[in-house]
A and B are shown apart, each in its own frame.
Chain A
Amino acid sequence: MRPAAPLLMLLPALVLVPLLLLLPSQWHGGGGELIGRFLLAAVQPSLDPLVLRSLLGGVGVTLGMAVLGWSASLVIGVLLGAASSRTVWRTLGGHPWPAELLRRLLAIPRSIHELIWGLILLQLLGLQPVVAVLAIALPFGALVARVIADLLDTLPTHALEALRGGGAPAPAALLTALGPPLLPGLLSYGGYRLECALRSATLLGVFGLGGLGTELRLTMQSLEFRELWSGLWLLLAVMLTLEAGVARLRRRWLMPPRLGLAAGGVGRRGREMVLALLVLVPLGLVVARALGVEASALLQRPPLPALPPPDWAAVAALPWPALVGSTVLLTLVAACLAVGLAPLQWLLVAPWPAMKALMRLGWALQRLWPPPLTALLLLFLLQPGLLTAALALGLHNLGILGRLLLESAVDRGAAREQALLGAGSGARQALLYGRLAPVANAYLAYGAYRADVMLRETVVVGLVGATGLGSQLMESLSSFAWDQILALVAVYALLTLLGEELSDRARHRLLEGNGSPEAAPSQLGIST
């Protein structure tokens, strides 16, 4: 028997059972005193002007890197997306095979995590601010390209055919027929990518690419928790402002105006978008100048070191099955934890509004706080190993999934929940069957996608030790063992491609099956 959709959503939370059973054996609690100090510091962050100034500078750099990387990724993504769309190639005359080829090729930059891009580019370009920007722009660009191509190829083509039939030249017909319907998807997804870019820029900083992430790691390493919290609160403010801003613009530009006549009238949206674009371009230039990002740096490449001859025997001697096995296990545990825990937590706190506010704050902090730092914090209480890494990764993604769940469930199902409540069912039942049920399939579909993001992210919790490919990669990087790095990145890419394929299938099944098919495409548009 197939469980009902809302229950299916809670199923992954079953991973808690083995986790809770294993936790006591991993618990050492030795750093309890440090955790106490850490928590206490949350309410008394450092207000030293010197610290704050340096943190503000860090926020500026991180935000700048995020905005530049994001803008570049959108440009790259739209161009490559159009170039890998079957419809575009078919219309321009000829076969869709170049689109297919490009689509496959783009899977490679996409399958490599921003961090690895950053570390590789650092070797190629030297210590340049442009490294962090490119590290975000390249994989994000490939991701955006995939989404744009998918959107383009699923748009209805009758307008295009009509224009072509009427004798319009191919490029003009494409732009007129596909441009406007593409816009909502592009805006919605683009906004989401900006939030991702902020998280990535912070994470890159943790690994030494500058900005607030760097400050966070340094204060964490020297256990200066009060300064750490100043940085965290600052970042939280920036992140929540950004998220709220993006959500607002998305609603304003994408939702049909509720009082059509009262609003600014025809063309308002277009004018505002042009205005936003006009602000964005000079802003990008100013930010680039302030950060010292110079495109010319790409041309003056420092020479590569004389590479030692590769030692393939040593590469083959790495414990591959164990590395791959624990990486996959880590991904699965973290994914189940994140996907299952979000609705479960919400259900648990449903009757108490104050608890719900606390949960939201918790989620915000979780997605803000880079996973390697969570891992370091967990090490104060837990043994190093897979479980600790899975918790770090799972908690971070719980913050992301939880927010998405809240956002999508708030738009839908309020009436149903009210009806159920009115009929006398409890707060939890009403939430589960009223609000969560309509979004269950879309949520799970997003969870499947998130799982392959987590696979890529296993690399960032490598510093907890014994976490498979990630920790091996960190070790190989500090040994400058190019042959090993190459092999590890290739295996990562292969795994990610495999994971993408599987999660794609899971998603399609979820969205085609029962549930709310009408909700699916828009949900997917935001989330892919």
Chain B
Amino acid sequence: MPFRLRSAALVTGLALAVAPALAPAGAPPGALVAPAAAQSTSQAVLRIGAIPDQKPEKLNRLYPLVAGELGRQLGVKVKYVPVVDYAAAVSAFRTGDLDLVWFGGLTGVQARLQKPGARVLAQRDIDVSFHSIFIGNVRSGLRPFTQQKGLTALKGRRFTFGSESSTSGRLMPQYFLQQAGVKPSDFAGGAPGFSGSHDATIALVQSGAYDAGVVNEQVWRASLHDGKANRSKVQALWRSPGYPDYHWIAQPDLDRRFGAGFTGNLQKAILSWRPSDPEQKQILSLFGAQQFTKASPAAYGRIEQVGRSIGKIR
């Protein structure tokens, strides 16, 4: 008997001890573990992150490329830290666990309000005037429309936003819906859904789980292009007016930690990416952009205003 127990204890013990040791071997198992690993080597590493607006596979393909390219251009160690939640990305930026983050319009404003002095570095050419696309399931009977008033057709329908904190998948669409006289409580079930990401919204509307939803135009186009969105099942209903969206934001203290002029060099590096370089071309195409341009905090004043009116910014 004691032998049996001892061997059982041994097996359990070994299993428990070995399991976590496997963790660092694979992909970073989650938000929490990676930053700790990064922190042990502290100052020398530039930790970059992004809001999880698309499928993790795509993020995991794109950001290690970005990290590699920035590391090559700047001569510092760059590490991509995946985050699974929009609000967690904002918090991680505030607590200093991320140095450079690809934020959406709303999360960027939230991050800058929580971390005064944070620097807006760059946006994509398409972010100056970004659009949302309202999409509908073909069988739902919803038809494309050209006037904003057409949004009233969504009343009483099963409707899903993306993430709660998404600019193109929630904030601006809710604002356009409000202008057209549609409240969140007007949807079927008394509330909209929050799918979590643009890809999920497309899949859910296409399957019929929701009649309609709203996604960012760039993801919609990419999904049509690679066949993830099936035109016979899901269609665009309406394209919203333009508004400023995604941008790179950096911590205020990078110059102190990485040497004078580092923030400027970082900005220059991002702005220098061109499709002529094969590596950079890959990055740009995953971002769905031709190139990055300078961005100013002032451009996001409108987002802040809408955010305050909807209560997402306090």
Contact = CB atoms under 8 A, between A and B. Distances in A.
B32 A209 contact: yes
Contacts of A471: 191
Contacts of A475: 164
A58 B30 contact: yes
Nearest to B83: A208
Nearest to B5: A272
A287 B209 contact: no
Interface in A200-250: 205, 207-211, 214-215, 217-218, 221-223, 245, 248
A465 B192 contact: yes
A439 to B, nearest CB: 29
Interface stretch (B87-95, B127-135, B215-223, B289-297): B87-95
A214 B29 contact: yes
A108 interface: no
Contacts of B191: 384-385, 465-466, 471
Closest 6 CB pairs between A and B? Answer: A210-B30, A126-B95, A292-B36, A31-B209, A465-B191, A60-B19
20 contacts: A30-B209, A33-B207, A50-B27, A53-B22, A64-B20, A128-B32, A209-B30, A211-B29, A211-B32, A215-B29, A245-B8, A264-B1, A268-B2, A302-B96, A305-B115, A380-B204, A380-B209, A384-B188, A385-B191, A466-B190
Nearest to A249: B5
Contacts of B192: 384, 465
B261 interface: no
B200 A223 contact: yes
A283 B200 contact: no
Contacts of B85: 207-208
B111 to A, nearest CB: 10
Interface stretch (B10-18, B64-72, B237-245, B276-284): B10-18
Nearest to A292: B36
Interface in A116-130: 122-123, 125-129
A326 to B, nearest CB: 10
Interface in B23-54: 23-27, 29-33, 35-37, 40
A323 interface: no
Given A207-B85, A209-B32, A480-B87, 10 more contacts: A53-B27, A58-B30, A61-B32, A208-B85, A210-B30, A222-B55, A305-B114, A463-B194, A477-B87, A481-B314
B49 to A, nearest CB: 10
A347 interface: no
A263 interface: yes
Interface of B: 1-2, 5-6, 8-9, 12-13, 16-27, 29-33, 35-37, 40, 55-57, 81, 83-88, 90-92, 94-97, 110, 113-116, 137, 158, 164-165, 188-197, 199-200, 203-204, 207-211, 311-314
Contact of B30 (A61, A122, A479): A61
Contact of B110 (A222, A291, A480): A480
A128 B115 CA distance: 19
Contact of A214 (B2, B22, B84, B115): B84
B185 to A, nearest CB: 8
A27 B269 CA distance: 53
B21 A379 contact: no
Given A245-B8, A305-B94, A127 B20 contact: no
Contact of A291 (B20, B40, B189, B311): B20
Contact of B2 (A26, A57, A272): A272
B26 A479 contact: no
Main secondary structure of the interface of A (DSSP, over half): helix
Nearest to B94: A305
A442 interface: no
Given A129-B36, A218-B84, A283-B16, A383 B29 contact: no
A286 B116 CA distance: 39
A207 B83 CA distance: 11
Contacts of B40: 292
A272 B10 CA distance: 12
A249 B203 CA distance: 46
A214 B56 CA distance: 11
A21 interface: no
A453 to B, nearest CB: 25
B83 A292 contact: no
A52 to B, nearest CB: 9
A293 B211 CA distance: 45
A132 interface: yes
B190 A292 contact: no
Given A34-B209, A58-B29, A279 B56 contact: no
A252 B9 CA distance: 13
A465 B84 CA distance: 20
Given A209-B30, A291-B33, A305-B115, A275 B87 contact: no
B183 to A, nearest CB: 13
A221 B1 CA distance: 47
Contacts of A61: 20, 23, 29-30, 32-33
